[in-house]
Amino acid sequence: MCCSVKSRMHRQTAWLLTILIILGGNLGIHTASAQEAGRIEIIEINSTDFPTLRVQFEAFDAQNQFVQGLQPGQVRAIEDGQVRQSSALELLQPGVHFIVAYNLSPELSNHQAGVSHYEAMQSALLAWAQTQPAETSDQFSLAANTGMQLIRSEDPREWAAALAGYQPNLLAETPNLNSLTRAVDLAIDANSGSQRKNTVLFITPLIFSWNQEAVTNLTERAANQGIRINIWLVASETASVSSPQIVQSLESLAAQTGGQLFLFSGQTELPNVEFYLQPLRYLYRADFESQAKTTGTHEIQLEIEREGVRLTSNSKPVDIHVEPPNPIFLSPPTLIERKWIKEEGQKDSQLQPGSALVHIVVEFPDGHERSLKSSRLYVDGALAAENGAAPFDEFTWDLSSYTSDGRHMLRVEVEDSLGLVKSSIETPVDLTVEPQKTLPLNALLTSERLLTLGGILAAGLVLALALILSGRQSRSRRQGRLRRANADPLTQPVPARIEPPSQPRKSAAVSSAERTTVPRRPAAEFASAKAWLVRIVENGADATVAARLETTPPVTSAIPLIRRETTIGSDPRRALYRLDSATVSGLHARILLTPEGDYRILDSGSVAGTWVNYGPVPSQGLLLKHGDLVQIGREMFRFQLAQPPEQKPPDIEIIEDQP
């Protein structure tokens, strides 16, 4: 009784499965996977043009068909949880690499209405090939049990000829997975450096059960590489009942790679190949402006809202390297002289120049050049000029308020489109102001000034005349008193005895003519040095006397580099050469003489830093070249070699005119 019930249930199940297979055969296609609304797949995120991120993606509807007609406003990116609207959207058509893989066997020679299964499938493929344009971005390959028959042809007619010319002996073929393995290998190799999608049409009979493990491995490889596999399974309509495990493994192969399985018994019409290829022919590329401000991995998602349906992709990481922009002064002025100049048409002289142009360059250490929001010039810590729009690399420094000599420190600051801010090092600029000149005579002799001068002269003449008359009366009275005194004998003068003068004593002090000038002790080490750091003074030229440079030997205009290690700082107990400056640390910098005869400068952990040609000295030091500008704190020097390298003149080639 029990066995009878089980047997009846088995027959009913088989009958139901047979009906389903027949219905599936009539429909022709088994859908591998379907979602209620569709899906989005991110293919690639390109950050080469950061902050612009270019995201390539595919969008499919519930029927697994490619969604066309998307607009930029319908696509958004979610970067680290923040929404970024698409700035550009482009539909691409990179093409498809279509591979037909034949697993030949005697089953393919079975006839239906006088036509073998192999001939029926070959005719369907050739009919599709005739509809393809001669010039296409697609590629075509053909694989069989014995090997590749055609590899990546870009001419559909060539592929059709190879397909039509391939006439194997089906009765002598043994089914295996060689053709599918070769097709997957070729597709993986074709993926390198190409945007083409790879899809395989696997034409096969039922495979042997011992091949199921190989099918599982091929499924995993194809799914990981994005290779879609569609299958034409040549078998009877009851294959799912007679060989359920084999059919299930092939269905899993198609489903997990995004493909479909079609059961061909010879009684149904084969599907159009274009139905497989159309979803793969297109690709979207959307541009977004990233707001990432830190180096590292950032998560990107895509979101599409269309016709009331919202789709969201899975999160995909992208590595971004970002650093603040680096502003650098471009040939900054070292000395500005303001002089009194009277220009044509002006009544009075004016101090000129009234302003100075300051130029900078902006580098992007991360390699991602981007727009700037602002640039600011600071003088002695106060904002002197600001640019809120291009050009950002030029400032006009107003000099009208500077009326006395002085040294001023310039610093520039820039802010990029991401809001990242960075400042340059401070650069000293010496400003001299010419004393105001006295007015010339022709400037004094104006009509108004002549009247004033005439009045002053007249008053002076009257005063002088009164003084002269008063003086004459006083002199006449004195002469009268003198005559009366000479007549009185009691008031006559008695002559005094005049002694001969004694010999004068020689002064202990030595006259300037007799004083011996003590010569400065010669610096032998300076003369024998092969290189020096020469001090730069106010006018920007190399100095002859360094007013603030103190060394253990006498003060000179340069630091001779004659030792294997020359130390420079503000503390004489730690440095061989001392710089008296608040910006110089106790032990500020070292200059090493390498075994090759080069000179390497290193910063010794100073506060203000050591700079060469307005760039900071790296931790491993920097080799100095003849003419380099060296800044130790705010003290400026120029590196000079006793025997600088000879500059080779440029080669000039004369090219005669051709007739």
Q: Express each pLDDT in 107-126 by its tens digit.
A: 998 887 789 999 999 999 99
**Residue 253: φ, ψ to 5°:** -60, -45
Closest C-alpha to 225, from 251, 189, 259: 189
Which amino acid is present at 519?
P
H/E/C letters for each residue in 144-164? ECCEEEEEEECCHHHHHHHHH
Report, as an integer, the average pLDDT of 61-82.
Answer: 89
* pLDDT(396) > 50: yes
CA distance 400 to 570: 36
For residue 309, the number of C-alpha atoms closer than 13 Å in the C-beta half-sphere is 15
Q: Greater confidence, 213 or 363? A: 363
Rounded to an integer, what is the distance from CA 390 to the centroid of its chain?
19
* Per-residue confidence (pLDDT) for residue 2, from 0 to 100: 38
Q: Which of 18-32, 252-266, 457-471, 555-569 has the lowest mean pLDDT?
A: 18-32
Q: What share of the chain is helix, strand, coil (3-state, %, to 5)?
A: 25, 35, 40
Q: Is the pLDDT of residue 158 over 90?
A: yes
Mean pLDDT of 393-404: 93
Query: What percent of the chain has a predicted confidence (pLDDT) above 90?
Result: 53
Q: For 57, list phi and psi in degrees, rounded to 5.
A: -150, 165
Token pair for 78? 């979610």
Q: What is the pLDDT at residue 423? A: 94
The pairing of beta strand 316-320 with beta strand 296-306: antiparallel
Rounded to whole angstroms, how far apart are CA atoms 80 and 300? 7
- For 596-637, write each residue's pLDDT tens digit: 999 999 999 999 999 999 999 998 999 999 999 999 999 999
pLDDT at 473: 64
**What single-letter DSSP state applies at residue 371?**
-
Residue 150 main-chain phi, psi, to 5 deg: -160, 140
pLDDT at 51 over 70: yes
Quickly state the pLDDT bin for 14 (edges 50, 70, 90).
Answer: very low
* Amino acid 306: pLDDT: 84
Burial zone of 557 (CB within 10 Å; 0-12 exposed, 13-18 middle, 19+ buried): middle
Cα first-last separation, the chain: 111
Q: Is 289 exposed, middle or buried (0-12, 13-18, 19+ CB in 10 A)?
A: middle
Which of the residue ranges 9-13, 252-256, 341-345 has the most confident prediction, judged by mean pLDDT?
A: 252-256
Return the number of other C-beta atoms located less than 10 Å from residue 550's C-beta: 14
What's the mean per-residue pLDDT of the chain? 81
Residue 329 has pLDDT above 60, yes or no: yes
Instruction: Give residue 509's pLDDT.
Output: 36
Residue 501 has pLDDT above 90, yes or no: no
Closest to 399 (Cα-Cα) out of 385, 414, 411: 385
pLDDT at position 476 = 62
Q: Measured at the alpha carbon of residue 491, what is the angle toward residues 489 and 497, in degrees to the nearest 5?
A: 100
Cα-flanking dihedrals φ and ψ of residue 587, to 5°?
Answer: -120, 100
DSSP for residue 554: -
Residues contacting 411, CB < 8 A, separation 6+: 377, 378, 381, 423, 424, 425, 426, 427
User: Residue 265: its pLDDT value, please?
Assistant: 87
Element (H, E) at 138: none
From its phi and psi, is residue 143 left (phi > 0), alpha (psi between -120 and 50) or beta? beta
pLDDT confidence of residue 474? 61
Cα radius of gyration rounded to whole Å, the chain: 49
pLDDT-derived band of residue 331, with 50, 70 and 90 as boundaries? confident
Q: What gap in Å lies between CA 204 and CA 199, rounded to an integer?
A: 16
CB-based burial label for 459 (10 Å; 0-12, 13-18, 19+): exposed
Burial class of 514 by CB neighbour count within 10 A (0 to 12, 13 to 18, 19+):
exposed
Residue pLDDT, tens place only, 452-486:
777 788 777 877 777 777 666 666 666 655 565 55
pLDDT (mean) for 141-156: 93
The pLDDT of residue 447: 57
Give the residue from 162, 172, 176, 160 showing the smallest Cα distance to 109: 172
> Cα torsion at 332, 335, 340, 341 (round to 10°)?
-50
pLDDT digits (tens, 9 = 90+) for 266-295: 888 899 999 899 888 888 999 999 999 999
- Check pLDDT > 80 for residue 588: yes
pLDDT of residue 637: 94
pLDDT in tens, 181-233: 999 999 988 666 677 889 999 999 988 777 778 888 999 999 998 899 999 99
The arithmetic mean of pLDDT across residues 556-575, rounded, is 89
